Amino acid sequence: MSTITLAVKTTLDRRIDGSNLLPAALAALSVDEIGRIALRAGNETRVLGDLFDIAREESEVPALVIEGDARLIDRLGANMGEGRLSVNGAAGDYAGLRMTGGELRIAGDAGRFAGCEMSGGRLTVSGCAGDFAAGALPGDMEGMTGGTLTILGDAGARLADRMRRGLVLVGGDAGDFAASRLVAGTVCIAGRVGAHYGYGMRRGTLLLMRDPGRLPPTFTEGGHGFEVFWSLFVRSLGAQIAPFSALDPRVPPRRHAGDLAVDGRGELLIA
Q: How confident is the model at residue 242 (pLDDT cuts 50, 70, 90)?
A: confident
Cα→Cα distances 253→27, 93, 160, 201, Å: 47, 35, 22, 19
Decide the pairing of beta strands 266-270 and 52-58.
unpaired
| Cα 2 from Cα 188, distance rounded (Å) | 36
CB 156 within 8 A of CB 133: yes
Outline which parts of the chain fall under CATH 2.160.20.60: 75-270
pLDDT tier for residue 269 given thresholds of 50, 70 and 90: very high
Give the strand pairing for 16-17 and 266-270: unpaired
What's the pTM?
0.93
Over the stretch 100-148, which tens digit does the pLDDT of each residue have? 999 999 999 999 999 999 999 999 999 999 999 999 999 999 999 999 9
- C-alpha 250/C-alpha 68 separation (Å) is 44
Angstrom CA distances, 183 to 80, 132, 141, 145, 199, stand at 24, 15, 10, 10, 11
CATH of 75-270, one of 3.30.1460.30, 2.160.20.60, 3.10.20.30, 3.90.230.10: 2.160.20.60
Residue 60 pLDDT grade (very low, low, confident, very high; cuts 50, 70, 90): confident
Q: Which helix (H) or strand (E) holds 17?
A: strand 16-17
